[in-house]
Amino acid sequence: MKIHGLCTIAITPFDNQGNVDTESIRSLTDFYINAGVQGITILGIMGEVNKLSEGERQKVTEVFIESVNGRVPVIVGCSAQGTNVSIELAKQAERLGAAALMIAPPANIKNLDVVFEHYRMVAEQISIPIVVQDEPVTTNVIMPPWFIAKICTEIENAKYVKLEEAPTTIKTTKILELIKGDISIFGGLNGMYFFEELDRGCSGIMTGFSYPEILVETYNLFTSGKRDEARKYFYKYLPLIRFEAQLGMGGVAIRKEIYKQRGAVSSGHTRFPGAGIDERTIVELKEMISFLDLNEQVTV
């Protein structure tokens, strides 16, 4: 299946003791699909992948793919510091049924020739598409538009790009001007520029906004030719998108709290170390949900 639209970045649900909660993975999967998402991306930054053991990564992958049961594509994060580790994760994800792999460059690599070789070596070991994740805040690796275009032009199964470097809009335009071939670009940054990204030629978005149905409706309106309606609808919810997009683990904790309030998962637990949210933030969140008339979407 060609990946498009909202490929939501999934949280990894834990119980209140911090154990992987497989039942909540199943309920969360149904929640996402009922919201209309066109894909689910797991084991990303929002999934607290850096806090999962090797065995937990495999378990999370297995349960998500089993729960999805072919209803939408599942994109599996396979980023790692070592190319050999990324290859191993990629092979495992392909065996388990992933539709594509999301891979960021190893952190702190300043030599782009080395970064290119990393992608090439992983790509030659698998047969499914790669999503090139441009995430300079976390990786400290700057991949300019010409370099991303080079990866997608010269590496056959590098078919998708996920942008996280602001402004994603300008970078989208530059990459599309340089790339030749059938390459799809996805926005990120919690969806803050989603309308503008679509207007610049993005094929969708990969982000973890906790009201995925809002991004789905924005995409559906835009792609059906209702550009002005898409803009008006999207702009209404920008305050909540902005509120969620707090730097660091605070944003993950806020999203998890919302998913708990919406009945998608049983707990909003985030693993240590990571910032939780204080009572004032919860009050602010509830006030914003009420202001935007989203209370009916909260089940508990």
pLDDT tens-place string over residues 166-208: 889 999 999 999 987 789 999 998 899 999 999 999 999 999 9
Q: pTM, whole model, 2 decimals?
A: 0.94
224 has pLDDT over 70: yes
CB of 75 closer than 8 Å to CB of 3: yes
Considering the chain, what percentage of its residues have pLDDT values greater than 90?
85
Domain of residue 75 covers 5-226
Considering the domain boundaries, does residue 178 fall inside one? yes
Report the pLDDT value the prediction gives residue 248, as an integer from 0 to 100: 55
Report the pLDDT value the prediction gives residue 190, as an integer from 0 to 100: 87
Report the pLDDT value the prediction gives residue 81, as an integer from 0 to 100: 96
Report the pLDDT value the prediction gives residue 2, as an integer from 0 to 100: 87
Considering the domain boundaries, does residue 277 fall inside one? no
Considering the domain boundaries, does residue 271 fall inside one? no
Instruction: Please give the radius of gyration of the chain, using alpha carbons only, rounded to the nearest integer.
Output: 18
The answer to whether the annotation marks 192 as part of a ligand binding site is: no
Higher per-residue pLDDT: 77 or 282: 77
Report the pLDDT value the prediction gives residue 296, as an integer from 0 to 100: 67
Number of domains the chain is built from? 1
CB of 174 closer than 8 Å to CB of 145: yes
39 has pLDDT over 90: yes
Considering the domain boundaries, does residue 236 fall inside one? no
pLDDT bucket at 297, cuts 50 / 70 / 90? low
Report the pLDDT value the prediction gives residue 11, as an integer from 0 to 100: 96
231 has pLDDT over 70: yes
Considering the domain boundaries, does residue 18 fall inside one? yes
Q: State which of 86-90, 163-167, 252-256 shows the largest mean pLDDT.
A: 86-90
146 has pLDDT over 90: yes
Q: Which of 151-160, 209-218, 279-288 is the least confident region?
A: 279-288
Q: How far apart are CA 61 and CA 162, in angstroms?
A: 20
9 has pLDDT over 60: yes
For 55, 60, 215, 289, the CA distances from 294, given in Å and listed in that order, are 38, 30, 14, 5
Considering the domain boundaries, does residue 112 fall inside one? yes
247 has pLDDT over 70: no
**Which of 217, 204, 300 is closest to 261 using CA atoms?**
300
User: Mean pLDDT in the chain?
Assistant: 93
Report the pLDDT value the prediction gives residue 275, as an integer from 0 to 100: 67
Considering the domain boundaries, does residue 176 fall inside one? yes
Considering the domain boundaries, does residue 88 fall inside one? yes
CATH number reported for the structural domain that contains residue 52 in this entry: 3.20.20.70
pLDDT bucket at 300, cuts 50 / 70 / 90? very low
**Buried b or exposed e, range 83-98, using 16+ CB within 10 angstroms:** beebbbbbebbbeebb
Work out the average pLDDT over 78-89: 97
